[in-house]
C-alpha cells in the first residue's frame, strides 16, 4: 500500500482538499488508480447534524453517508464514487473503541490513546486502501498541526508510515501559509518554519511543502524554506491564488509535483505522456467564457457560500458546457418576505432554490417560486425547493388556502407535503430520513427525459417529507406534472410546470453527482434556459 498524507499548518482553509484532489488528478492522468480519505478530528460521528453555517454543506454519498464537503471535491476531481468509510472522524473512532471495550475485545487491558485509538485509525485507513485496490491512497488530515484533537491522527499516520515503509510507500505533503506583509510586499517564511518545526517534533518530516500565497513564491523564498525546513528546493511548491479551483492541477503540474511523487514512491505510471488537454479545454471555458448569465440562489445560509458549494460547482460545470460564465447572486430568502421580489430579483436570468431544513425563510422561497412562475423566469428547485414550488402552486394556482408542509405547520388545512407512512415506519426503527442513491423513473417525452436522456436514473436523496399522494391528481390537473417518480410510483421525484420556459424541481439532490465534464442535467437545463431568457430580453 502506498499513501500520500496531506497535512496543514498555520491556519485552516488553505486548500488542503483542493491540493489533495489536484495531486490525485495528476496521478490519474498518468494511468494510476487513486482513492482518497478525509480525516476530520471533530467528535461528531459524521457531518449530518452540523449546521451549514458551522461547517459548510453536508455532502451525501451513494451509500447515504453524510460527510465533509471535501469528499465532494474528491468525487468531482477524480470522478469516482466514495463511501461513508472514506470519511474518518474522531467520533467514529472513539465510538468503535468504546464498543470494543464494552464487548471485552481488549481482554481487560487499560484502553489508551496509544495503542488502541491509533490502532483503530490505522486499521480504518489500511482497510479502505485495500478495498479500493488503488495504486495510491491520498489521506487528508483535517485541521492544523498543533491542534489537540488532531494529535492521535498524526501519531497514527506516523506509525503507519513506519509500518508500510517510509521511503517508498509514503509521501507527506504539508500545506502552509506564506503571507505577504507590509507595503514592500515581502513574502514571509516564518509561519512555515514554525509549522514544519511543530510537525517534525511529532516525528513527521514533510517531503513536499505547498506554500499558499497570493502569488508564486520567489526563488529566494523557496531556497530559504528548503534550507530551514530540510526539503529539496524542487519540493517547495507554489500554490498562488487561482482563477478557479480547477486551475490548481495545472499549476502543480507545471512545477513537477506529480513527477516528484512518482519518483519518490517508485510508482509505475501506465503512461509517460500526460494528457491534460480535456481538462485544459474545460478550464478555458470556465475562466474565459464567451457568454455570461446571472442566476439567483435563494437560500437561508447565504452568509456562508460553502453551504451551497455543490450547487456552485454544478452551475460552473453546466456553464462550461455552454461556454457560459455563471454569476451567482446569493439572496437571503428572508429578504423576499419584507421586500418586493421584483426589486430583489430583477437583474437575474434564472432562479435556483436549494434544500434546507426548518421553517425560517420558507415563505421567502415560496415568494421566489411564485415570482419565477408568474414572470416566466427559469426556475430550478432542489429538495425543499421542490416542496416550496409544490406548495406555491397549490396555494396560488389551485386556490388551496393554507396549503403547507406538516414540517412547518402540523395542522395545515391542506398538508401538500407530509410524512409518508413508510417514512414514519422507518423513523420508528431509528432511521431519520431517506439518504443515498435511489432509482428514479423518468417519463418519456418530458423535459426531464430530454435532459437526462434516459428513463431510469440514479440520484442521491436527503429528506424526510414527501408530496402527499392525496393531492397528486389535483396538482397535475393544475399543470404541475410529476415526470419523475420512485420505483413504486408513490413518491414524486421530479416536477415540471407546463406552459413555462423552464420551471422544474427535484426531490433528490442532483448537485451531488455533477462532474466537470458531466454536469447535473437539472443545472444544465437551468443555465440553458437562463441563456435563452437573457438573449430574448
3-state SS string over 450-511?
A: HHHCCCEEEEEEEECCEECHHHHHHHHHCCEEEEEEECCCCCEEEEEECCCCCEEEECCCHH
Instruction: Report yes or no: 372 and 503 within 8 Å, Cβ to Cβ.
Output: yes
Question: Structural domain of residue 125, as residue ranges?
Answer: 3-280
Torsion, Cα 453 434 298 362, to 10 degrees, reads 130
Residue from 506, 517, 524 nearest 354 by CA: 506
Cβ-in-10-Å burial (0-12, 13-18, 19+) of 276 comes to middle
**Domain edge (last residue) among 228, 263, 280:** 280
Nearest by Cα to 249 from 18, 68, 82, 5: 18
The domain boundary residue, chosen from 280, 301, 328: 280
Residues 276 and 299 in one domain: no
> Are 423 and 467 within one domain?
yes
Same structural domain, 360 and 433: yes
Give me the count of residues in the chain. Answer: 537
Same domain, 138 and 215: yes
User: Could you give the CA distance from residue 146 to residue 428 in angstroms, rounded to a whole number?
Assistant: 43
60 with 136, same domain: the answer is yes
pLDDT at 275: 84
- In this structure, the answer to whether residues 226 and 315 fall within a common structural domain is no
The pLDDT assigned to 357 comes to 86
pTM of the model: 0.94
Q: Are residues 211 and 310 in the same domain?
A: no
- Greatest alpha-carbon pair distance for the chain in Å reads 75
The catalytic site residues sit at 383, 509, 511
| Same domain membership, residue 35 and residue 149 | yes
Same domain as 454, residue 502: yes
- Residues 262 and 410 occupy one common structural domain: no
Which one of 246, 280, 314 terminates a domain?
A: 280
Q: Are residues 296 and 158 in the same domain?
A: no
What pLDDT is recorded for position 184?
74
Domain count for the chain, please give it.
Answer: 2
Q: Provide the CATH number for the domain around residue 276.
A: 3.40.50.300
Q: 293-310 as b/e, with b when 16 or more CB fall inside 10 Å? A: bbbbbbbbbbebbebbbb
Q: For position 338, which CATH number holds?
A: 3.40.50.880
DSSP H or E stretch at residue 218: none
Specify the pLDDT at position 420: 84
- pLDDT tens sequence for the chain (537 residues): 899 999 999 988 899 999 999 999 999 999 999 999 999 999 999 999 888 888 889 999 999 999 999 999 999 999 999 999 999 999 999 999 999 999 999 999 999 999 999 999 999 999 999 999 999 999 999 999 999 999 999 999 999 999 999 999 999 999 999 999 877 788 999 999 999 999 999 999 999 999 999 999 999 999 999 999 999 999 999 999 999 999 999 999 999 999 999 999 999 887 777 889 999 999 999 999 999 999 999 999 998 999 999 999 999 999 999 999 999 999 999 999 999 999 999 899 999 999 988 889 999 999 999 999 999 999 999 999 999 999 999 999 999 999 999 999 999 999 999 998 877 877 777 777 899 999 999 999 999 999 999 999 999 999 999 999 999 999 999 999 999 999 777 899 999 999 999 999 999 999 999 999 999 999 999 999 999 999 988
Cell representation of residue 221: 523564498
pLDDT given for residue 185 in this prediction: 81
- Tell whether 54 and 172 lie within a shared domain: yes
Give 478's contacts (C-beta < 8 A, 6+ positions apart): 393, 394, 397, 398
Amino acid at each position: 500500500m502506498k499513501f500520500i498524507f496531506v497535512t496543514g499548518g498555520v491556519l485552516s482553509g488553505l486548500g488542503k482538499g483542493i491540493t489533495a484532489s489536484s495531486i490525485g488528478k495528476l496521478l490519474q492522468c498518468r494511468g494510476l488508480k487513486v482513492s482518497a480519505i478525509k480525516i476530520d478530528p471533530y467528535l461528531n460521528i459524521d457531518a449530518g447534524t452540523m449546521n451549514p453555517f458551522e461547517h459548510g454543506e453536508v455532502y451525501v454519498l451513494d451509500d447515504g453517508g453524510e460527510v465533509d464537503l471535501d469528499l465532494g471535491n474528491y468525487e468531482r476531481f477524480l470522478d469516482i464514487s466514495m463511501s461513508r468509510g472514506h470519511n474518518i472522524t474522531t467520533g467514529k473512532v472513539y465510538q468503535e473503541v468504546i464498543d470494543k471495550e464494552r464487548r471485552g475485545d481488549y481482554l481487560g487491558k487499560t484502553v489508551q490513546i496509544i495503542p488502541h485509538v491509533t490502532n483503530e485509525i490505522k486499521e480504518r485507513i489500511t482497510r479502505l486502501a485495500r478495498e479500493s485496490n488503488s495504486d495510491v491512497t491520498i489521506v487528508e488530515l483535517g485541521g492544523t498541526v498543533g491542534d489537540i484533537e488532531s494529535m492521535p491522527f498524526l501519531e497514527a499516520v506516523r506509525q503507519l508510515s513506519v509500518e508500510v515503509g517510509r521511503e517508498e510507500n509514503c509521501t507527506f505533503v504539508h500545506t502552509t501559509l506564506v503571507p505577504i506583509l507590509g507595503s514592500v510586499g515581502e513574502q514571509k517564511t516564518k509561519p512555515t518554519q514554525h509549522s514544519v518545526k511543530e510537525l517534525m517534533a511529532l516525528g513527521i518530516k514533510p517531503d513536499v511543502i505547498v506554500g499558499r500565497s497570493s502569488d508564486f513564491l520567489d526563488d529566494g523564498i523557496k531556497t530559504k524554506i528548503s534550507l530551514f525546513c530540510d526539503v529539496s528546493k524542487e519540493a517547495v511548491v507554489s500554490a498562488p491564488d487561482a482563477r478557479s479551483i480547477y486551475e490548481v492541477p495545472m499549476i502543480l503540474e507545471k512545477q513537477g509535483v506529480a513527477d516528484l511523487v512518482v519518483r519518490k514512491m517508485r510508482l509505475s505510471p501506465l503512461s509517460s505522456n500526460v494528457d491534460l488537454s480535456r481538462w485544459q479545454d474545460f478550464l478555458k471555458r470556465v475562466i474565459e467564457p464567451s457568454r455570461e448569465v446571472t442566476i439567483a440562489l435563494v437560500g437561508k445560509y447565504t452568509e456562508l457560500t460553502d453551504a451551497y458549494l455543490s450547487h456552485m460547482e454544478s452551475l460552473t460545470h453546466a456553464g462550461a458546457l455552454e461556454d457560459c460564465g455563471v454569476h451567482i447572486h446569493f439572496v437571503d430568502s428572508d429578504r423576499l418576505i419584507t421586500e418586493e421580489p421584483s426589486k430583489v430579483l430583477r437583474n437575474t436570468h434564472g432562479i435556483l432554490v436549494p434544500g434546507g431544513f426548518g421553517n425560517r425563510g420558507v415563505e421567502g422561497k415560496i415568494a421566489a417560486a411564485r415570482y419565477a412562475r408568474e414572470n416566466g423566469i427559469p426556475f430550478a428547485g432542489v429538495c425543499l425547493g421542490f416542496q416550496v414550488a409544490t406548495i406555491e402552486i397549490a396555494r396560488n394556482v389551485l386556490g388551496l388556502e393554507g396549503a403547507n408542509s406538516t414540517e412547518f405547520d402540523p395542522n395545515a388545512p391542506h398538508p401538500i407535503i407530509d410524512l409518508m407512512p413508510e417514512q414514519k415506519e422507518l423513523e420508528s426503527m431509528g432511521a431519520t430520513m431517506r439518504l443515498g442513491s435511489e432509482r428514479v423513473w423518468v417519463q418519456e417525452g418530458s423535459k426531464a427525459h430530454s435532459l437526462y436522456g434516459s428513463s431510469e436514473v440514479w440520484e442521491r436523496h436527503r429528506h424526510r417529507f414527501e408530496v402527499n399522494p392525496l393531492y397528486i391528481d389535483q396538482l397535475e390537473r393544475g399543470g404541475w406534472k410529476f415526470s419523475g417518480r420512485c420505483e413504486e410510483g408513490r413518491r414524486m421525484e421530479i416536477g415540471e410546470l407546463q406552459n413555462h420556459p423552464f420551471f422544474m424541481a427535484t426531490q433528490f439532490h442532483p448537485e451531488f453527482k455533477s462532474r466537470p465534464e458531466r454536469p447535473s442535467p437539472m443545472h444544465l437545463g437551468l443555465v440553458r434556459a437562463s441563456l435563452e431568457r437573457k438573449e430574448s430580453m
